A and B are shown apart, each in its own frame.
Chain A
Amino acid sequence: MSRFRDALVAAMTLFVGRLARPRESRGRIVAAGPTDPLAELAVLGLLGLASAAAVAFVVLYAVGESTQYLGLSLGLSLLFVGAALVVTGRRLVATEELEEDYPPAGHVDDQRRVEQILEESGDRLTRRRLFKLGLLGTGGALGLALLTPALSLGPFFQTRYYLGTPWRRGRRLVDENGRPWRADDIERDDFYTAFPESANEEELGSPLVLVRLAPRNLRLPPKLKGYDAGGIVAYSKICTHAGCAIAMYRAPLFLPSEPRPALVCPCHYSTFDPAAGGTVLFGPAGRPLPMLPIEVDARGFLRAKGNFDGPVGPSWWGVRMSRANP
């Protein structure tokens, strides 16, 4: 603790001391050169363009434009910054080439000398404050542009892409021909594919796999209690590993001696337990199959009771950025 305080005091002293240091006047070291207002204007213009391109990146990201435009805007911004630096270096800063042995480091006088050289090198600039502002603006805009993609790490703004599906409370489950599924149609030891009624079948969140289990064999976790309709369970048909269709159902004839019921993805053999809320039994999938709460209505049709309990589809970014959502 005391060491920390010492460090703090030392830092303060250094900082304040630096600020308070009187500027003693010495003779010039760098020869005074002519000013170049045109080059300054060019640099400021280039910095402005760089800032604009960086801001464009943020805007393009926000409206979800294609990655080509994102790359173009960021590249242009960096290009303009580079051009501005080149012009500054060649036209505005005094340059001279000297060959000199390294002096022993840390000599206070030498350090001051270097600082003075630095300051005098910038003497040719007439609009220093504007220059600083321009640099600051570009730095800020570019920094913002570089930070923007971090938004893709989590659903902050567009959770619809991750959690939105056509499933709503009361929406009926239909087969691929649009015929509504009745609870009586769903038999034990077989599995069925279902889609949301009058919605886009092609959407990632649409297809379901339906299975009927004996209610006494269900071991749903507490947060999924009541998601089944009398033993009928509905899961997203899209594997959470790489997005293949769950096309295999392991339906044991004799439970005591055979592998228990499982939904299996044929691509990489991710195996999910339909009795336990779609938990992963085996394979590369990292999270359970999303489960859809369903119920049987008065006429015996299967209806959704809401949306899935988790995001549908494979777990990598951009997968749901398609424009399929209505």
Chain B
Amino acid sequence: MKGVVFNLLEAVIQREYDDDTWEALLEQANVGGAYTSLGSYPDEEMMKLVAAASSLLKTPPDDIVRWFGRNALPLLAQKHPHFFDAHKSTRTFLLTLNDVIHMEVRKLYPGADVPVFNYDTSSPEVLLMEYRSHRKLCALAEGFIEATAAHYGEELALEQPECMKRGDDKCVLRISVKKLKV
């Protein structure tokens, strides 16, 4: 996993908690903790950090991951606003993940192992996104999607009718949004 994800986690922890919490997590997870954005680190280190946060914050690991996604997205939106400004809704933004966002990720971070989503856009209201990855980080995707809906000021209904964690061969994210009345 690319160092940039660890950097994001550190930034989120420091912003939502404090420096000490990050220190404590590193200590509990027993990892080196020196992450540079361009470097690559074992996925295992991320899992250890998630496990440490889960026990420290007394929260299930998936919730930690979802929370991380939800809080990481605003940081990304801040850093790369043009990817977000080009859209007005969650749905069109999500459809650019494979061809635009992850394409850019690969350019900046050679060797980045980003997931490829399959979309089902047959319904104008409901977007189905298929996610397959040995990392099984569908919760991270959920967190990102929740924060994206918030970014565009939309009310989100998100379900996972299929999930690898429940024994399915893939995760399916069922997404529908509507604009919040201001």
Pair from one complex: no
